[in-house]
Amino acid sequence: MPPPILRDAMWFRRNKALYQCLATESYDAIFIGGGELIGPGTFSVALKYWAKEICKYQPKAKLFFFGVGVASNCKEIDIRNMRDILYMANGIFVRDAKSRDNLVSNWGLNATEIPDVVFSWSNQVALVSNPRHYLLYGITDFQRIHKHGIMLLSSESDYFEHSLKEIVALNHTGVKLFYTTQDDFYACKRFQEYCFANGHNQIGIAMYEDLKGLITEMSHAKTVYSPRMHACILGKMSGAEVHPILISPKMTSFKEKYITNGQDTNIYRSILEGVIRNCMTV
């Protein structure tokens, strides 16, 4: 394996096209974020090169991190990689309190906590008055469950057994599985096979090809269960009763902040729009 400095240079060469827009256009502001996680690995390398290219081609542009998360497991090399660009920022806006604390502990920088940027879609989701009957239950790839370790499940089979027991306990006649990524879709297929093998042939899978299709499904659902935060946000904006599946600290804090309080999602959109307006006047 090549040393880190050579590996980083190879990554930049392979991905140089990502930065060409900085050399060919003029920008008043650059926003990095929309759900990205400031954390270890490839993203920290990317930010190192973004800092260099922004300084080279867009020295007068305002720079903001907007709606980002900040990981707890950054290594020293990641902290060094991202230091320059974070110190360059005119403003950093994070999606939760833990991210704000991590930013302080890793870089000594302060940030403003804002709602997740997906809430800005609240005016794009049309609430429908048709009867809502079925329940949407989100399945994710087991590696995400195992990574966080909160559910204390050691295998995909254990996860499937746990999920099926929960679905049966809900005692709902119409259940559809749903997904937000390709890996989750394949996990849904495997879980459905598990359900069939255990005598639950009535559990279907919602079929759609894009975000619009997912929102349409949610607009017809009475209840949404999901281990994915953005799926829960879309469900809430669609008017469904939402129950986050608590697979991580992020999902726990999300439930406490956005589900339990019953706040109108349009308020969060207004907050986000106000923050963007303020950024442009800095």
Mean pLDDT per 10-residue section of the chain, whose length is 282 residues: 65 76 88 79 84 91 92 88 93 90 95 90 63 89 86 92 96 92 96 96 93 89 94 90 90 86 81 90 78
pLDDT value at residue 49: 86
pTM (predicted TM-score): 0.82
pLDDT value at residue 38: 87
pLDDT value at residue 180: 93
Query: What are the CB-based long-range contacts (under 8 Å, 24+) for 194-203?
Result: 194/157, 194/160, 194/164, 195/164, 198/164, 200/164, 200/167, 200/168, 202/173, 202/175, 203/167, 203/175, 203/176, 203/177
pLDDT value at residue 118: 87
Nearest to residue 113, comparing CAs of 130, 133, 132, 93?
93
Q: To 5 degrees, how large is the angle CA 51–CA 92–CA 112?
A: 170
Nearest to residue 135, comparing CAs of 224, 226, 196?
224
CA dihedral 233, 238, 244, 248 (to 10 degrees): -20
pLDDT value at residue 129: 59
pLDDT value at residue 126: 58
pLDDT value at residue 4: 62
pLDDT value at residue 122: 66
pLDDT value at residue 186: 96
User: How far is 241 from 238, CA to CA, in rounded Å?
Assistant: 9
pLDDT value at residue 188: 97
Task: Write the single-letter amino acid at 240.
Answer: A
DSSP 37-50: EE-STHHHHHHHHH
User: How far is 173 from 64, CA to CA, in rounded Å?
Assistant: 47
Nearest to residue 254, comparing CAs of 277, 273, 235?
235
pLDDT value at residue 7: 67
